[in-house]
Amino acid sequence: MKSLTLAALASQILPAFSFEIKVSSGGNATSGHQYGFLHEDINSSGDGGIYAELIRNRAFQYSDSFPVSLDAWHSFNNANLALNRLDTPLSKALPVSVTVSPSSDSSGAVGLFNDGYWGIDVRQQAYTGTFWVYGAYEGVFTAELRSALEDDKVFGSVEVESKAAAGEWVEHTFELTPGEDAPNSNNTFALLFDPAGLAEGEESLDFNLISLFPPTYKGRKNGLRVDVAEALAGLHPSMLRFPGGNMLEGLTNTTYWDWKDTIGPLKDRPGFQGVWGYQQTHGLGIMEYLEWAEDMDLEIVVGVWAGLALDGGLTSEEDFPAVISDGLNEIEFICGSVDTKWGAVRAELGHPEPFPLRYVEIGNEDWLAGYPAGWDSYQEYRFPLFLKAINEAYPDIVVIASGSTHDGYKNLPLEALADYES
């Protein structure tokens, strides 16, 4: 009955909807970037997600919100495990290591093993690993991929000749190719040594930055998970915005996502007090994001920190030049020539060719945190000063505001796009 009525109504109403389409030339072209990704590490989408590292809590990183712990680590063959701050840490960024010593109940090789991020995918493929050791030890280390369900089931094992020496940190690298695929992902990674090889008077060894990677997307060192990256590439996006999101802002204005902490050797990356409930490694740093964009042929949209943190911590106008200068340095790192200070740093990290950079977003959701002071300051000085500085230094870069006229940005400068401006 109802549908009949509707049909009758429709037949009466439809003719009133006839319209004419006029096609004119000109008008505003779209950017071609309506469809792409914004990535930040939320719900373990970075560490434990697209970032291919298999070892969880690989370097005992911590912050005010997330205390240092032995999460994901377990003792092998009754070894004693203890967190330790040696007088000689691996690095300033990674001050805590794990001390491993045999107990009276240990016989044979001792060590530690890791659960991975909800298990470890074990296949017949080449895994690459590294670990750092402090203390004198003669003999071999054994790196193994083992079943967590079946005692003594080892899918792959490799012996790594010790280069460990007294009083210094020594890096060891290895390749491990399992002889068979594991039937499921409930597997662990173990790192073992023979206490008989400890130097006289030594009772333990310290380990840090224990890392294991499967093959990565396009073979990048410290790269992305192949399955996840291929699935994303298959969506044919055109742009990648990073690093978020709230992650860019940080919980406080001393703990925001500082791009400078995310570059260089992993041992020099302190990690990040994540804003979504867990500590982050900073393994997925700005270089890794840029290479991700390059490998998927995506337009880069970088978000620069704009002096506002999630707790409302706000940089005054007087102090704002330092924030701008840091943002300009970041832009220079991305697209400056090798003759520039930060372009040279990028070259040193293996990418002399500047990355193409056409879009820079100032902050993230600036109308939200610390309202109304945060939003007022964005309109009064944070956005306009940033816009001016970038326009002067990089006339071809489009600057994007993180809020729009919908949020009450009445005087949004015309040349600036807004995050979701219509």
Ligand X SMILES: *[C@@H]1O[C@H](CO)[C@@H](O)[C@H](O)[C@H]1NC(C)=O
| CA triple 304-305-308, angle to 5 deg | 145
Instruction: List the structure tokens of 102.
Output: 């045999």
Nearest to 386 by CA among 371, 402, 399: 399
Query: Which C-beta is closer to ligand X: that of 119 or that of 264?
Result: 119
Query: Which C-beta is closer to ligand X: that of 36 or that of 413?
Result: 413
Q: Does 43 bind ligand X (CB under 6 A)?
A: yes
Q: Does 42 bind ligand X (CB under 6 A)?
A: yes
Query: Which C-beta is closer to ligand X: that of 168 or that of 319?
Result: 319
- Binders of ligand X among residues 252 to 281 (CB under 6 A) are 253, 276-277
- Cβ 23 to ligand X, closest distance in Å? 12
Of 150, 297, 319, 380, the one binding ligand X (CB under 6 A) is: 319
| From 78-86, 312-320, 381-389, 394-402, span contacting ligand X (CB under 6 A) | 312-320
Of 118, 166, 227, 380, the one binding ligand X (CB under 6 A) is: 118
Query: Which C-beta is closer to ligand X: that of 51 or that of 217?
Result: 51
Of 98, 145, 148, 362, the one binding ligand X (CB under 6 A) is: 148
What's the gap between Cα 34 and its chain centre? 24
**Beta-ladder partners of 33:** none
- Binders of ligand X among residues 222 to 251 (CB under 6 A) are none
Number of residues that bind ligand X (CB under 6 A): 18
Report the distance separating Cα 289 and Cα 303, nearest Å.
12
Of 28, 30, 104, 422, the one binding ligand X (CB under 6 A) is: 28
Query: Which C-beta is closer to ligand X: that of 116 or that of 135?
Result: 116
What's the gap between Cα 156 and its chain centre? 28
Three-state secondary-structure class, residue 229: helix
Integer angstrom CA distances of residue 377 from 60, 161, 264, 308, 391:
38, 58, 34, 9, 20
What lies within 8 Å, CB to CB, of 41 at 6+ separation is 47, 49, 244, 247, 274, 276, 280, 284
Nearest to 270 by CA among 90, 137, 16: 90
Q: Does 186 bind ligand X (CB under 6 A)?
A: yes
| Cis amide leading into 372 (omega within 30) | yes
Q: Which residues lie near ligand X (CB under 6 A)?
A: 27-28, 42-43, 118-119, 148-149, 186, 253, 276-277, 307, 313-316, 319
